[in-house]
Amino acid sequence: MDKSEQTKPLVVVTGAGRGLGLAICKQCLEQGYRVVAISRTLSAELKGLQESNFDDLYFEPFDLIELDDIHHLCKTIIANYGRPYGLINNAAVGFDGVLATMHNSEISSLLNINVQAPILLAKYLSRSMMLNRGGRIINVSSIIASTGFNGLSVYAASKAALEGFTRSLAREVGKANITVNCVAPGYMQTDMTESLQGEKLESVKRRSPLGKLATPDDAAAAVLYLLSQHAKSVTGTVLTVDAGSTA
Amino acid sequence: MTDLRDTILDSMRQVALISDCTLVDDIDDDTVLLQSGLDSLGFAMLVAQLEEEFNVDPFSEMELAVYPRTLGEFVSVYQSALQPSE
């Protein structure tokens, strides 16, 4: 059967190579979705997942810094695999450093990858969802959007921007039966947070009510809930998964 | 031009159906788009529908953000975008 004629709903996941994105891909496949996995490179883990889900996982290599090519990427996805049901804007970069000495090019590329790329993906893929009269857009934020963290001011700005975007877009596309939500994970042990080690890491764990960190699987489960029909009346909200750290 | 206008009008009717809008009667080239009965979300759906039909979204390809006011102008934008490049 042509891939675009499959009946399983199609979900587009960015940053699919590692960490939370990979966990989202795994859970989507387990729950009967087809997945377009977008990542700069095919990681060994994603390759393994692709080999065991050849019919349902499609890898699209793409670097989201290439903003001008996002429209073409979306057209290719729709032409090859059909209209998507869901978009998971998970990819992000998290350069840390004191703002006063952060290079302007780093500020600019962080905002392009973390804010503008997800907005453009939502722009072009929500069109298909409108024609389907339904869909799900889930933006991966962070508790840093609403708390503070030394050395992550630009990252925090990008995540707060995504949350603002989520609320207004939810109002805009609700009439087309598309929901737009955020999942805000706390600190998770992924490659992105590997700089958080030792005493700092122990302190984050100690302060959480559950005495541990949330895992990528915990945050992925929240994404899967928002994708599901159970969440059909949930839109414009932020679902925090942080083992209670911000309680 | 007439064929293109007919295709666009057909798409407007389809989109009106799925977006719960009612098109006004007697739409012609001078009809102001925002008074045609489609709301702004309806127009987004129309652009999406036409992109699937023609594989082109002239508004994304424009250098500047210019939006047509009337149906005639809207059809012209698509006509220019669909002309084979010389």
pLDDT tens-digit profile of A158-168? 999 999 999 99
The structural domains of chain A, with segments of one domain joined by +, span 3-241
Which helix (H) or strand (E) element contains residue A39? strand A34-39
Cβ separation of B48 and A173 shorter than 8 Å? no
- The pLDDT of residue A190 is above 80: no
- A78 CA: distance to closest CA in chain B (Å): 9
Q: How far is CA B55 from CA A144, A243, B52, in A?
A: 40, 46, 5
Cβ separation of A131 and B51 shorter than 8 Å? no
Give the mean pLDDT of A107-116: 97
Choosing among 3.30.910.20, 3.40.50.700, 3.40.50.720, 3.40.50.10860, the CATH entry for A3-241 is 3.40.50.720
ipTM: 0.88
Task: Set out the domains of chain B in order of their start, with CATH numbers.
Answer: 2-80 (1.10.1200)
pLDDT tens-digit profile of A166-177? 999 999 999 999
- pTM of the entire predicted model: 0.93
Give the mean pLDDT of A109-129: 97
Contact B74, B68 (CB under 8 A): yes
Contact B78, B50 (CB under 8 A): yes
Instruction: Select from A129, A132, A176 the least CA-distant residue to B39.
Output: A176
Catalytic residues of A: 155
- B30 CA: distance to closest CA in chain A (Å): 27
